[in-house]
A and B are shown apart, each in its own frame.
Chain A
């Protein structure tokens, strides 16, 4: 069964067609990558999936429900979470609080009960904290839970973003360049973490990534975008030898030379 089924998605900004008739289906429990040169429309595509932009054309089914045009927070509540290309943490909140915010859709304490701090509210809060710490421990950040997010080293910030997304108990997690700016060791650790998300937590993962070593190592399926259009799709070996992909990345002459 397809967890995500995006059909014929098109989005234009003025005269620019950022995403052009892109179709992407993702099966449950897969690690899928979306790659392409800068400006190919990858992040725009993510923004459409998560409801930041409304598609001009196309339908999106998530877990069987149509979500195209729904508000971002509604889509997030349905179980699709993401990280951002340029890390977007809540900088002046602690690491633990960042994760607690990620759990927002799972906390239901009503306003009046919060005002009187009913036992139910206290229980829910205590449970949430415990759960948040588990999530932090999972990505290896529990010891830093009281630090402000902005004071974390870069690699930890990336991991915190993942922990925050995990806190929402998602079915699908979209990672927008999770290893951008990382050194090789950090990248290896991140690769390992992404693999564990799927193997241990049973998550479905969609990646946007430029690090081809990582993409080729963990993706079961790769979709290539160029100028907003999907130009290729398949497993790592297929993509590596696809002339259109090589052309998109290296230019026209290179494709001939490689072939």
Chain B
């Protein structure tokens, strides 16, 4: 008994030392410095860099969960994400691409979280809005538009910037459009119908090459325009960085997506803490009781669909431009489910949780699972007794599935579930209340360690 008690308290002490006070600042800075140094001095793509890269991203989480001053946290995260990571990206394009993809999925998962997590409307066709945004820019920025009407010409690439906003609006419009028929449905029925509507969009993209070629069908759309590099002169001449166009585009999309993600986080955070967020939550908890409080169900549900879809629409525009090529399979059901798994793994309704889930699933998809498969395959070749019929690279999704199953058994609420906001009040006017408040740091750090 005593040994466990003291070992627990020792662990607690270490945890406190590393996440608060002067030792906390020292630890975080040292951690960041070591990771950054390792990344910048050894930028080759290999297992070691993978591990350091994951540790580097993990630090963002640790800083977020720590008890340090907000200004310090923001500064450290800003240096890591807006300085170290982009510089590392110029040395190794793979990892910054992973980070960029993660950013895209953070925005998508946060959008889906508005619908599923906040309002409790299970939407399995969410990727449709992403497709709408992507095809919007894909069709209008390329000669594809001349196939619809020879008199029309593609919009100039500089229009990319306003088109992010147009994508937002078009996404919201489609959110309302697809939301309307499902307003009366709940739970399983809603899920099935949204799944169907999502597939409808994909099938339309796949087949609208006849009679008029709008989407170019299964061929997809190639050579989608990227915005002109208006800052190229600044980077090359003023900063003296001789980066190729390719590298500049990588930097551009990384920063553009970082910025959009920041905006999305702010927007969903503010909505969540407002009368609108509470109305959504009330609808999720009990529709009948919500209406009885005077909450207009239809308007609030449509607003949730619109807000969620708008992020996907805007990200679709950026995604199409970044990828240069889109085709219908990019937007299949599996993609919707993948985004949903980010929301569920991270913790439905929890903004930090969903961000974490999106990064985790993206890393698993692009980096960790392929790497594990490679390691297994190498071991197999080196003579480890794995049957030859078992090709580890074919079993990545199996590992992902196993992980999901284990998560749902052992932590169904997600990795970082939504914590109820406690009224931040100075006075504790009752003893149970004071105890309740005193407990918070404990549970927080517990969650942080998982």
User: Would you list which residues of chain B between 269 and 300 have a CB under 8 Å from chain A?
Assistant: 270-271, 273-276, 278-279, 281-282, 285-286, 288-297
User: Would you list which residues of chain B between 295 and 318 have a CB under 8 Å from chain A?
Assistant: 295-297, 303
A6 sits at the interface (CB 8 A): no
| CB neighbours of B276 from chain A (8 A) | 111, 114
| CB neighbours of A81 from chain B (8 A) | 292-293
| CB neighbours of B420 from chain A (8 A) | 93-94, 97, 146, 148
A125 touching B274 by the CB < 8 A rule?
yes
- Which stretch of B141-149, B395-403, B430-438 is in the interface? B430-438
| CB neighbours of A162 from chain B (8 A) | none
| CB neighbours of A19 from chain B (8 A) | none
User: Which listed residue (B270, B279, B294, B295) contacts A115, Cβ 8 A?
Assistant: B270
Determine the distance from Cα of A168 to Cα of B290 in the docked complex, in whole angstroms.
12
B281 touching A97 by the CB < 8 A rule?
yes
Determine the distance from Cα of A146 to Cα of B436 in the docked complex, in whole angstroms.
9
B433 touching A146 by the CB < 8 A rule?
yes
Shortest distance in angstroms between B59's beta carbon and chain A's nearest beta carbon? 29
Shortest distance in angstroms between A156's beta carbon and chain B's nearest beta carbon? 13
A100 touching B289 by the CB < 8 A rule?
no
A90 touching B270 by the CB < 8 A rule?
no
User: Would you list which residues of chain A between 91 and 146 have a CB under 8 Å from chain B?
Assistant: 91-94, 96-97, 100-105, 107, 109, 111, 114-115, 117, 121, 125, 128-129, 142-143, 145-146
Determine the distance from Cα of A97 to Cα of B293 in the docked complex, in whole angstroms.
12
B423 sits at the interface (CB 8 A): yes
B267 touching A115 by the CB < 8 A rule?
yes
A73 touching B289 by the CB < 8 A rule?
no
Shortest distance in angstroms between B24's beta carbon and chain A's nearest beta carbon? 27
- The residue on B at minimum CB distance from A125 is B274
B293 touching A104 by the CB < 8 A rule?
yes
User: Which listed residue (A52, A88, A104, A142) contacts B279, Cβ 8 A?
Assistant: A104
Determine the distance from Cα of A146 to Cα of B438 in the docked complex, in whole angstroms.
13
Shortest distance in angstroms between B121's beta carbon and chain A's nearest beta carbon? 16
| CB neighbours of B288 from chain A (8 A) | 52, 84, 88
- The residue on A at minimum CB distance from B275 is A107
A145 touching B423 by the CB < 8 A rule?
yes
Known: A101-B278, A101-B279, A146-B436. Is A164-B430 also a contact (CB below 8 A)? no
A73 touching B274 by the CB < 8 A rule?
no
| CB neighbours of A103 from chain B (8 A) | 275
Known: A88-B286, A100-B278, A114-B270. Is A164-B432 also a contact (CB below 8 A)? no
A102 touching B293 by the CB < 8 A rule?
yes
Determine the distance from Cα of A103 to Cα of B433 in the docked complex, in whole angstroms.
24
A82 touching B281 by the CB < 8 A rule?
no
B429 sits at the interface (CB 8 A): yes
B422 sits at the interface (CB 8 A): yes
User: Which listed residue (A93, A102, A128) contacts B285, Cβ 8 A?
Assistant: A93
| CB neighbours of A71 from chain B (8 A) | 291, 296
A50 sits at the interface (CB 8 A): yes
| CB neighbours of B294 from chain A (8 A) | 73-74, 76-77, 104-105, 168
| CB neighbours of A107 from chain B (8 A) | 275
A97 touching B289 by the CB < 8 A rule?
no
B289 touching A90 by the CB < 8 A rule?
yes
A219 sits at the interface (CB 8 A): no
Determine the distance from Cα of A73 to Cα of B271 in the docked complex, in whole angstroms.
21
B290 touching A101 by the CB < 8 A rule?
yes
A104 touching B275 by the CB < 8 A rule?
yes
User: Would you list which residues of chain A between 2 and 61 have a CB under 8 Å from chain B?
Assistant: 50, 52
Known: A104-B294, A104-B295, A105-B293. Is A96-B279 also a contact (CB below 8 A)? no
Shortest distance in angstroms between B410's beta carbon and chain A's nearest beta carbon? 20
Shortest distance in angstroms between B436's beta carbon and chain A's nearest beta carbon? 6
B289 touching A84 by the CB < 8 A rule?
yes
| CB neighbours of A204 from chain B (8 A) | none
Known: A90-B289, A109-B274. Is A143-B297 also a contact (CB below 8 A)? no
| CB neighbours of B286 from chain A (8 A) | 88-91
Determine the distance from Cα of A167 to Cα of B267 in the docked complex, in whole angstroms.
27
User: Would you list which residues of chain A between 166 and 221 have a CB under 8 Å from chain B?
Assistant: 168
Known: A114-B274, A143-B430. Is A90-B291 also a contact (CB below 8 A)? no
A72 sits at the interface (CB 8 A): yes
B292 touching A76 by the CB < 8 A rule?
yes
| CB neighbours of A92 from chain B (8 A) | 281, 285
Determine the distance from Cα of A39 to Cα of B260 in the docked complex, in whole angstroms.
56
- The residue on B at minimum CB distance from A100 is B278
A109 touching B278 by the CB < 8 A rule?
no
Known: A94-B420, A104-B295. Is A109-B275 also a contact (CB below 8 A)? yes
Determine the distance from Cα of A102 to Cα of B286 in the docked complex, in whole angstroms.
13
| CB neighbours of B279 from chain A (8 A) | 101, 104
Known: A92-B285, A115-B270, A121-B274. Is A146-B291 also a contact (CB below 8 A)? no
Determine the distance from Cα of A164 to Cα of B292 in the docked complex, in whole angstroms.
10
| CB neighbours of B292 from chain A (8 A) | 50, 72-73, 76, 81-82, 84, 88
Known: A111-B276, A114-B271. Is A143-B432 also a contact (CB below 8 A)? yes
Shortest distance in angstroms between A102's beta carbon and chain B's nearest beta carbon? 5
Question: 4 closest A-B pairs (Cβ-Cβ)?
Answer: A105-B294, A76-B294, A90-B285, A88-B289
- Having A92-B285, A93-B420, A104-B295, one finds 19 other A-B pairs with CB under 8 Å, namely A71-B296, A73-B292, A77-B294, A84-B288, A84-B292, A89-B289, A90-B282, A90-B289, A91-B286, A93-B278, A100-B275, A104-B293, A104-B294, A115-B271, A117-B270, A125-B274, A143-B429, A143-B432, A168-B294
Pull 15 A–B residue pairs with CB atoms less than 8 Å apart, ordered by A: A52-B288, A76-B293, A88-B288, A88-B292, A90-B281, A93-B281, A94-B420, A101-B279, A101-B282, A103-B275, A109-B274, A109-B275, A115-B271, A143-B433, A146-B423
